[in-house]
Structure 1
Amino acid sequence: MRAKIFGRITYMLILLLAIILLFSCKEDSNPVDNNPTFASSTKKITPESGGSIELTNKNGDQIKLTIYPYSLEDTTNITLEILNDVAANPFSQNILTTIRILPDELKLDSAAALSVTFKSSVNDTTHSILYYRKQNDIAYPLETIWFNNYTIVGKIFHFSDYGGAKPTHEEVSSQSNKLNNNFNYSIWDWQGFSQYVLAMLKYIEFTQLYGDDEAAQSLMDQLEQKIIIQVNAFLDAPIPEEPCGYYLKALSEYSSMVFMMVDNEQLEQRVQNRINEVVNRCYIRGKVEFDYQYCVSAEGAEICRTITGFVPFTVNTTVEPHGQINGTGELDWSGTMTGLPPNCIYNETGIVSVTLGGEMVIDEYNKVLWLDFEISEHASGTVTAGCDGINQTYPFNPPDVTHNIRILAQEGSELIMPIPGANGNFRWIVHLNFLPGEINKRDFVKNKF
């Protein structure tokens, strides 16, 4: 049973996020209610660019809030505050003064990262948490990653009060029971439900760490049933006329919970059918970033080339054949050759016409989408030879090149391929968005299944 619980917890907690943070620890065990602001910073952050805010608390701990692109629906003035003391909460051993993020209760389209760099080492990272202070007597542990005894990062879905603590066995038991018995989330509030599930997983993990396997298994079984009820209720609701924005994001989050945590083939099939139905109403659009940098030496000469640019593409999801990739664009080509003969320098300038083909496929075992690109490249340009101060220009038409590559269908995924016989690499980076038929840019939803 221990392996079963830890397997599920680890799988869910490994899912999303890898940001860098740092931290230290001074325990504040006497929370107070009258709590002035120690430090505050406000920044206007746009959906397209995202941004970050950093502050230092009175103990010398560095706090950083990172908002990722398209996490916000609108340009927003975001305030990060560090309170002077610890706001009232259910834990007796607090390791961090309260962090307040405004506007209060603002929900995000994708998770933000709250990181702490403690000034002093945290000796017991196993039992230490960051938490969302829902009420004075209820706290939700965050999904967190400890990188070392100084660095932690937590994942948040909305703005509110946050803190850090070392919950005792009794506090874990009390909080897990409160959360288990006070469950009520709208099917459209995927952010709140995700925060709830991750908090319960953390309390289940702590319950087992304190040696109560039976209670941990009971909480896990009840959490699984809550997920089944929530997801079935979501699937019972009608699909909106425009399903490619908020609805698609909610479906993605719910599908992740089902495939990771629920042992229910009927529900898994129901979710997969809904994914297929909704995705086929949308176009997937993106672009591939090309970055070729390499040098080749032969017969006393050295040729160095740089080929860069972006090629847009779409994935057909509305008519047969589903998943087909189409795209065209041009890259910039530049290069130099020296050493043949010794008193000459050759400069290459041109363009590379690129055609993208292939298809998007799903890994049926892991439920992961891949982009299988077929890349055709046709280069043309000129070479200017400069010898003894005399320049002559010639046409330049190297042979066509093809590449067949597979990249994970996720924003920022990249593939680096060494070039045989050369010093350098081919590098491709995918920038991927879901774009419904005629909506504006702010409604792009970065998505993966």
Structure 2
Amino acid sequence: MTDKLPVVVVGAGPAGLAAAAHAVGRGLDVVVLEKGTGAGAAVREWGHVRLFSMWRDLVDPAAEKLLAASGWTRPDDSRYPTGAEWADSYLEPLAAALGERARFGAEVVGVSRRGRDRVVDAGRDQAPFTVRVRTADGGEERLLARAVLDASGTWETPNPLGGDGLPALGEAVAAAAGRVSYRIPDLGEEAARERHAGRVTAVVGRGHSALTTLVALADLAEAEPGTRALWVLRRGEVGDAFGGGAADRLAARGALGQRARAAVEAGHVEVVTGFRTAEIRPAHGRLLLVDDSARTTEPVDEVVALTGFRPDLSFLSEVRLGLDPALQAPVELAPLIDPNVHSCGTVYPHGAAELSHPEPGFHLVGVKSYGRAPTFLALTGYEQVRSVVAAVAGDHESAARVELTLPETGVCGGAGLFDEPEARGGCCGAPAPEAVAPARPPLPLVR
């Protein structure tokens, strides 16, 4: 009987640990498998970044119940922690409260059904899952599971710089040389500060990571003359990239956009729009970005590519997934989050029904469930795992119930990827053009 087997959760980040807490609360056996050395391994890699969610929105209710039994003290709800503080004060204690249920140095390298590859129908639904694990010492083992929740995230698979979804020509060479990075730089570290101080950095992308980087570089420019940022946008205008400002129900998220706008207006950031990178070309010790029409940027010293993430599906090749062909998100969820349709930043709460696949008992949860779509909140992940674990436990009434209201962004701008008028029907029409410093025209092609 598969219901005697544990639920296996892949990943010990916020969603994965919350899923385990919900399983414990329902009396289910659960095993969390994390290839890193501790809880929140990915969160720690951006530990210098301050979240725009307060503590009140970062603690899962089931996790809090589990933590309370260990004497844990909840942080001040009104504070905004950094990633490192989130990991230290919540994720690590939660993993400790789970005890031996959370295993580290355990990388999941395959998921399937026992004795059945992807093709076989007969008896598939009654067969337990097999989860292949590679341990830190190089060993292998196989676990059987009644259900599998993949909360492994997307942190290790950032999108490349190239505007066509492929690495730009020369990108791999430049990245190997340390000239292209895919993370928000920690300018509090001396080495990172030296790389950007007094130099020109191209920041490619229009999400919150890009805005955070622009603000950090603008602050550095106040102390280090000559520091500049070139903000490279694929869209033809800034549009709603600064967010909803005062209308954003997450105040810190709105304030981030306002600070980025101020950095542009102060001249610390120059904007280049309608630029889809096709090549990175060396130029006398610096770099040129070349777009698909052979235009170039001015020479830059560093490139920070913050163009989003994509899910790693390689270890799920034997699982029957139902994914949207564009977003690589579950087919029922994709219409709610598709930036081709809208950029409102407002997603209806969803759970087991929207996260289901043709493989019963398998779910993508957390940020990985969004595929290539942007803007994921911890609250969304907590509601997802509450619903999914309820479904696994057979409580379908609870799984179907909505128990969350998400904060709106204050942005409502039609289709979110391109600017053509016909693409802007979206959720509620197009925004008025942003009144910011004019975009810098690309320089002629340098040969």
What TM-score results when the alignment is normalised by the length of structure 1?
Answer: 0.20
Higher-RCO chain (CA-CA 8 Å, sequence separation at least 6)? 2
What TM-score results when the alignment is normalised by the length of structure 2?
Answer: 0.21
